[in-house]
Structure 1
Amino acid sequence: MLPFASLGRKVASGISLLMKQRKVRRSLAATVFFVILTLLISVDFMPQKVDLQLGDVSREDVYAPREVEFEDKDKTEERRQIAAANVEPQYEDNEQASGAVRQDITSVLESIKVIQEQGDLSNEEKEGRLRSLLHFSMSEQDLAVLARPGADSLKLLDTELNKYVAAAMEKGITQENLEETKKSIVTGIKSLHLDNAYINLGQGLTNYYLRPNKIFNEIRTGALEQAARESVPPVMVTIKQDEKIIGVGDVVKEEHMKKLEALGLTRSLASWRGVVGTALLVAILMLVVLFYLYQQNREIYKHAGHLYLLGIIVVVVLAVAKGLLAIDIDTWRQLDAQLGYMVPLAAGGMLIAILLDSRLAVLVLAIMSFLLVLISGGRIEFGMVGLISGFAGVYSVSKLSQRGDLVRAGLYTGAASVAAILTMGIIGNNSAGLVLSSGLILGTINGLLSSVLTIGALPYLESTFGITSSVRLLELSHPSNPLLKKLLTEAPGTYHHSILVANLAEAATEEVGGESLLVRVGAYYHDIGKIKRPYFFIENQMTSDNPHDKIAPSLSTLILTSHVKDGLELGREYKLPKDILDIIEQHHGSGMCSYFYHKALENNGAENVNEDEFRYEGPKPQTREAAIVMLADSVEAAVRSLQNRTHGRIEGLVRKIIKDKLLDGQLDECDLTFKDLDAIANSFLKVLSGIFHSRVEYPDMSKEMERRKNRNAGSRKQLAGKNPAQ
């Protein structure tokens, strides 16, 4: 057993190593999604409604759940065969055949005449020569008669036989009427009242030499037959919704089976050809999506988790569609046939737009609509409604600005579904009652279901795949968030500083084309680590007493730089997204605490101070968003401490800070360009000019207040000196 156990461990180890390879995992996931999608589209998992075979007696009434039009292939083929059979055969004339036949007959008769007139030959010799001359057999009695002279009989036979042959040739001899023509000529010969020997001679000559002068043209005839077949239109059979297909006690006939098959009521599994075709289609569509991502969004293409997310959304939405289409409502077959309008394709489109990319959502939505048509057995109206409602959903969530937009997206989706269902009902000539009921009820349910599924699935997908959606960012940006409330109450100065940094960073990000909402939220939380020791940071010091005056510069530096690590711990405790944690970790990079570094130099001398001890641990900003927050943080703090804030001094300070960060290497690992840095500086100046603008000096109001006070006092004295009786 030990060798087998060792072999098993080696195999398991090999499989484990294989599964750790990125390409293997992606290929395996693609195969799984491919198989699931193929089965969802091509296989009916639900029990069949009827179980009837040809010749069975039906035990129930079977009604058509929907309207279907299909081709009766047997009747179509029967009509096409009739059309092909009615085509006249096509022949080509052989002009040489007529002359050749008559020449051959005349030549034989002349040779017989010559033999008859040879007097030096005996009758036996003449019979022998006649036997050699003729290529068909004749009796000895006939040969004996023919050996004796009979010029008149030969002449009459020659004349009449050639006349009959010429008439037949002129009429046309084909392979089909050859025998009949021979019989007709022989009948004419028999009417000549000749000796039986000459009659038999004429019959033999006719049977041997007569041949068709019209040759059958198979190619032309086949082409005409094919044209006749193609001219016959397919025999279409229309089954109306709720039409009775077969009743109780009826014997199942061929026409019943055709209708049941067209409605999909007799097949539990698709044929192998259908499965293969569906598999090829799914493979092509998957390649289309991957090629699009490779060309247009390489970031998603390279991120395996995003591809898995995309596959899961498509599979789940189509599985919901499969389940809705399988519902059987006996009490209302009309509603049963319309349930495809409830398929929440818009939920898949909105999830992809929110979590991944709006343009990708449009492409995948179009593909899912096409697959819905296949799943529903060719119901194009279902696919069109899903496509239109999905477009409305994607458009409504493409620019989320608040959490209520998701609810509004559901309303837009429902309205689009109602309009699309009504339109498709009018096109399909459905009854007004059915159109209104299915449009208003199912369309509204579609919108609500799409919105509920999107809102419900979004948090789980975000946490599972580590994606920070705009909805999650909007939730984090709300002032009622517990962590922001904690920052406001325990470190109010830091909270106000974070708000200003967020304004600066968001304006700059919009200029360079980054994720402005992510930057704003990241700026809100970038200094949450200061909550642990708020009074060690100057913006939270309400008095002139500074605790750093009582401790060593190295300890002050340690306290200041530790707010990054404290912020990460606090962020993980409150389950902040990874993108926000990255901004918290990188918003100082490996920058230096210059004030305490220079203070240490003054106290201890350059030879006793290690510069690295006065730097943040890093890492440097890896994204443009983190870099912008770092620049905005530094600029806000510096401008706040600036005296006499004129526009020129603010601009000089802003550009100096950005230049210092650049020269210090803090921007080496992000993708900001010099053009971006100039745009960032200009956007900072616009915001700062609105915050720290010069104000109009108010006049001294003390003298005016004194004048009004004296005037009011004088008025009261005048009123008191008057006589009340006056």
Structure 2
Amino acid sequence: MFPLARIRDRTFGRLAPLMKQRRVRRVSAAVLFFVLLTTLLAVQFVPDKVNLKEGQVSPVQVSAPRSVVFEDKGKTEELREQAAAAVRPQYDRDPLVSGTVQRDIANTIAAIKDIQSDPKASQQNRVDRLKSDLPFTLPAATLAVLAQPASGSLDQVERAVNGLVAQVMETEQGVTPDKLDSIKKNLCDQVDRLQFSASYQNLAEGLINHYLRPNSFYNADKTHLLKQAAMNTVQPQMVTIKRNEIILRPGDVVTRDSLAKMEALGLVQPGLSWRMFAGSALLVALLMMVVLLYLHQQNREIYLQAGHLYLLGIIVVVVLAIAKAIVAINLPQWPELGALFGFMVPVAAAGMLIAILLDSQVAMLVVSVISFILTLMIDGQVNFGIVALVGGFAGVYSVSKLSQRGDLARAGVFTSAANVVAILIMGLLGNNPFGLVLTSALIFGLINGILSSVLTIGALPYLESAFGITSAVHLLELSQPSNPLLKRLLTEAPGTYHHSIIVGNLAEAAAEAVGGESLLVRVGAYYHDIGKIKRPYFFIENQMSEENPHDKIAPSLSTLILTSHVKDGVELAKEYKLPKAVVDIVEQHHGSGLCSYFYHKAMENGGPDNINEDEFRYEGPKPQTREAAIVLLADSVEAAVRSLHNPTLGRVEGMVRKIIKDKLMDGQLDECDLTFRDLDTIAAAFMQVLSGIFHSRIEYPDLNKELERRKARGVGARKQSSRKSAGG
């Protein structure tokens, strides 16, 4: 135990510092997601197909879930082999061989005749000469007979043997090497029927066995070409399977034809081969590389944030795992509907989550990748991938501009409608029964959209919290007046609340004008002064009476009270668990700006030599983002314009541009990415909002004079009426 414990501690002790390295963590996460995705794509966890072999008895009924036309490759190959076997081997004939053989036979017969007709030679001498001159061996008795003159018998043998040789060599195929022995035997049998004497029969058979040789030789290339041509004439054997056609019944023996039909329908459970696993691994690696390259080129912010990459990986793995589970569902009672469960895969949930949390364009890319993988998971059925793609794009589009939380529910409805239309189109293209198409479109399309919306709403808070992402949905919740912190601001510091609302309007308009996050800016403006809740009456907008508490304390203390609302606001924001982006705006909305009123007041009281300017500045930091800088400018502009006694449009615009210039010259905008053009655009956006607040009004007449005029008019009317009555 102790050695194992030491080994474990030593191993983890070495790995712990290594895992803290950023690159190691990213590579480890990439490997983990790679393994998970490859496993989901290649491994069938819940077998939804039969595992039958040829010759096996089927225990279940197998029906065709859809119509399909496929090539029976086994039957086609069998017919092609038969066509190739019907082609006869091709031989090249040598026309000179037949003549040569016949001449050799004739020369041998002539030599025998010469020996027989030699009158000087004795019998033994002729036998010896025959024995030495003949190229083949004959029995001694046969040689003794051949040594005696019998030219007529030799002529008969010559004619018979040459006739047989010529006959067999001039056939269509001729004499081939492989058939030489059988042809020799056949010719010898024919010689036996010619009724020669035994000696001359032996001579004829010897001539045939010795001189007969092949005159046709096998041409492999020509034979191969003819066989190939014959195979090419065989057309592919196409087999048509109708929907609901019974392939096998319980108790039927699995044949080659039935097995081919099940393979064409994708009903046969394939074994996990190394080729399949390797192909899936390479495909997953390729798709991961495509996504990472896109992020590196088009969205470097997400690429550099490891948490964002982990978020993408988790969403893709979870959605594909749900897809794997849905596709594995089997309904033996309704095989037609069970085969369409792939339409329920909530790919739109992945698109909506990524669009809300990260980026809409990245969401489109991920939806495309998931749809492609889903197509491969469901045996390459493109209709499921297309429906997933359409539904995913619809989900991304429907949440691209969220304005309230109810938009998520409407996004589900929009996604359902898109899925219904896509399923209808794919069903009509597949030539399926219209009733089944309509039913599947309504059922699966609606379920898909609702499931996607439910998954998005349910997973969103957890993903936001886990990865520290502030989504538009969370910001919308924070912008509601019913939020507890905003309620406190309204009741405890009402002037600050209304000031924050106007600042929010100004900042939102400016953010939209320069392409910033307008919703974040509006929410940040609502909460930027929440620190004033702690001491509301020390801020002029909350003072109901003419008494100002700052008149009774030193400027330095007033400055301390004013500047502390930033720190108090940050503490309150963290207490109420506001997002970090909003907390940053609360902390940076004054930057390191100068409390100029109290600074100048202190200068008047104590003299410039005794005053340290840094003591009258906010602690900072300066705005780090354009959103925080816009809130800083909007806050300063609203307070300054509100202090104007005669706020005409000209004076308001002059004040707006002066405030922006002062903040720029004071260095408060040095650490954000606003440009001079942005500042000019922001000033114009501020004026557009302020012009609606400080527009010119109709000058109403003096009410006292109007009442006197109406009273005098009424008295005159009564006198005139009484005169008319008297005259009547």
TM-score, normalised by the number of residues in structure 1: 0.87
Structure 1 residue 534 corresponds to structure 2 residue 531: no
Distance 1:663 1:77, change over 3 A: same
Distance 1:42 1:721, change over 3 A: same
Structure 1 residue 102 corresponds to structure 2 residue 99: yes
What do the CA deviations read for 1:587-629 (whole angstroms, capped 9, x no partner)? 2222232332333333334443333322222222222222222
Other-structure match for 1:325: 327
Other-structure match for 2:384: 382
What do the CA deviations read for 1:496-523 (whole angstroms, capped 9, x no partner)? 3223322332232223322222222222
Q: Is contact 1:50-1:266 (8 Å) kept?
A: yes
Structure 1's unaligned 5+ residue stretches are none
Distance 1:484 1:83, change over 3 A: farther
Other-structure match for 2:37: 37
Structure 1 residue 439 corresponds to structure 2 residue 441: yes
Structure 1 residue 9 corresponds to structure 2 residue 9: yes
Q: Residue 416 of structure 1: CA displacement?
A: 1.5
Q: Counterpart of 2:95 in 1: which secondary structure?
A: helix
Distance 1:124 1:42, change over 3 A: farther
What do the CA deviations read for 1:664-699 (whole angstroms, capped 9, x no partner)? 333333222333333333333433344334445455
Letter in 2 for 1:692: F
The whole-number CA distance in structure 2 between the counterparts of 1:206 and 1:651 is: 127
The whole-number CA distance in structure 1 between the counterparts of 2:340 and 2:724 is: 94
Structure 1 residue 487 corresponds to structure 2 residue 489: yes
Q: Residue 482 of structure 1: CA displacement?
A: 2.7
Q: Counterpart of 1:289 in 2: which secondary structure?
A: helix
Letter in 2 for 1:636: E
Distance 1:339 1:7, change over 3 A: closer
The whole-number CA distance in structure 1 between the counterparts of 2:152 and 2:645 is: 150
Q: Is contact 1:146-1:197 (8 Å) kept?
A: yes
Q: Is contact 2:48-2:328 (8 Å) kept?
A: no
Q: Of residues 555, 560, 563 in structure 2, which corresponds to 1:553?
A: 555
Q: Is contact 1:105-1:205 (8 Å) kept?
A: no
Letter in 2 for 1:78: E
Distance 1:69 1:14, change over 3 A: farther
What do the CA deviations read for 1:25-57 (whole angstroms, capped 9, x no partner)? 222222332232233333333366868777666
Q: Aligned pair count?
A: 723
Other-structure match for 1:599: 601
Choose 385-394 or 57-66, whichever is displaced more.
57-66
Cα-Cα RMSD: 3.7
The whole-number CA distance in structure 1 between the counterparts of 2:81 and 2:513 is: 74
Q: Residue 421 of structure 1: CA displacement?
A: 1.9
Other-structure match for 1:519: 521
Other-structure match for 1:368: 370
Other-structure match for 2:412: 410
Q: Of residues 543, 561, 564 in structure 2, which corresponds to 1:562?
A: 564
Q: Residue 494 of structure 1: CA displacement?
A: 2.2
Q: Of residues 592, 595, 609 in structure 1, which corresponds to 2:611?
A: 609
The whole-number CA distance in structure 2 between the counterparts of 1:369 and 1:123 is: 104
Q: Of residues 578, 582, 586 in structure 2, which corresponds to 1:576?
A: 578
TM-score, normalised by the number of residues in structure 2: 0.87
Q: Counterpart of 1:171 in 2: which secondary structure?
A: coil
What do the CA deviations read for 1:172-194 (whole angstroms, capped 9, x no partner)? 43456555655676677778877
What do the CA deviations read for 1:68-126 (whole angstroms, capped 9, x no partner)? 666655434322322322344444x35xx322553365257436645864768877777
Other-structure match for 1:661: 663
Choose 160-169 or 304-313, whichever is displaced more.
160-169
Distance 1:248 1:717, change over 3 A: same
The whole-number CA distance in structure 1 between the counterparts of 2:476 and 2:232 is: 64
Q: Is contact 2:105-2:211 (8 Å) kept?
A: no
Q: Residue 714 of structure 1: CA displacement?
A: 1.0
Q: Is contact 1:370-1:383 (8 Å) kept?
A: yes
What do the CA deviations read for 1:149-171 (whole angstroms, capped 9, x no partner)? 77777777667766665663573
The whole-number CA distance in structure 2 between the counterparts of 1:629 and 1:46 is: 56
The whole-number CA distance in structure 1 between the counterparts of 2:614 and 2:134 is: 128
The whole-number CA distance in structure 1 between the counterparts of 2:150 and 2:685 is: 131
Q: Is contact 1:414-1:447 (8 Å) kept?
A: yes
Choose 614-623 or 132-141, whichever is displaced more.
132-141
- What aligned pairs does 1:238-277 form with structure 2 within 5 A after superposition? 240-250=242-252, 267=269, 270-277=272-279
Letter in 1 for 2:172: K
Q: Is contact 1:392-1:413 (8 Å) kept?
A: yes
Structure 1 residue 338 corresponds to structure 2 residue 340: yes
Q: Counterpart of 2:421 in 1: which secondary structure?
A: helix
Letter in 2 for 1:585: E
What do the CA deviations read for 1:288-330 (whole angstroms, capped 9, x no partner)? 2222222222221222221222122222222222222233334
Q: Of residues 632, 642, 656 in structure 2, which corresponds to 1:640?
A: 642
Structure 1 residue 18 corresponds to structure 2 residue 18: yes
Q: Residue 395 of structure 1: CA displacement?
A: 1.7
What do the CA deviations read for 1:207-243 (whole angstroms, capped 9, x no partner)? 5555555543333433554455465455555555544
Distance 1:249 1:499, change over 3 A: same
Q: Residue 437 of structure 1: CA displacement?
A: 1.7
The whole-number CA distance in structure 2 between the counterparts of 1:148 and 1:48 is: 93
Identity %: 63
Letter in 1 for 2:672: C
Distance 1:448 1:139, change over 3 A: same
Structure 1 residue 469 corresponds to structure 2 residue 475: no
Letter in 2 for 1:110: N
- What aligned pairs does 1:165-176 form with structure 2 within 5 A after superposition? 168-169=169-170, 171-173=172-174, 174-175=176-177
Other-structure match for 1:77: 77
The whole-number CA distance in structure 2 between the counterparts of 1:592 and 1:231 is: 94
Distance 1:508 1:106, change over 3 A: same
The whole-number CA distance in structure 2 between the counterparts of 1:464 and 1:628 is: 29
- What aligned pairs does 1:146-157 form with structure 2 within 5 A after superposition? none
Q: Of residues 605, 618, 622 in structure 2, which corresponds to 1:620?
A: 622
Q: Residue 271 of structure 1: CA displacement?
A: 4.1
Q: Is contact 2:496-2:542 (8 Å) kept?
A: yes
Q: Residue 143 of structure 1: CA displacement?
A: 5.0
Q: Residue 264 of structure 1: CA displacement?
A: 6.2
The whole-number CA distance in structure 1 between the counterparts of 2:681 and 2:122 is: 132
Q: Is contact 1:511-1:680 (8 Å) kept?
A: yes
Choose 647-656 or 117-126, whichever is displaced more.
117-126
Choose 496-505 or 346-355, whichever is displaced more.
496-505
Choose 198-207 or 293-302, whichever is displaced more.
198-207
Letter in 2 for 1:103: T
Q: Counterpart of 1:458 in 2: which secondary structure?
A: helix
Q: Counterpart of 1:329 in 2: which secondary structure?
A: coil
Letter in 1 for 2:42: S
Distance 1:464 1:139, change over 3 A: same
Q: Residue 413 of structure 1: CA displacement?
A: 1.3
The whole-number CA distance in structure 2 between the counterparts of 1:589 and 1:422 is: 58
Q: Residue 715 of structure 1: CA displacement?
A: 0.7
Distance 1:710 1:51, change over 3 A: same
The whole-number CA distance in structure 1 between the counterparts of 2:534 and 2:130 is: 137
The whole-number CA distance in structure 2 between the counterparts of 1:142 and 1:437 is: 99
Distance 1:330 1:3, change over 3 A: closer
Q: Counterpart of 1:474 in 2: which secondary structure?
A: helix
Q: Residue 269 of structure 1: CA displacement?
A: 6.0
Distance 1:694 1:721, change over 3 A: closer
Q: Is contact 1:44-1:269 (8 Å) kept?
A: no
Q: Counterpart of 1:323 in 2: which secondary structure?
A: helix
The whole-number CA distance in structure 1 between the counterparts of 2:636 and 2:10 is: 57
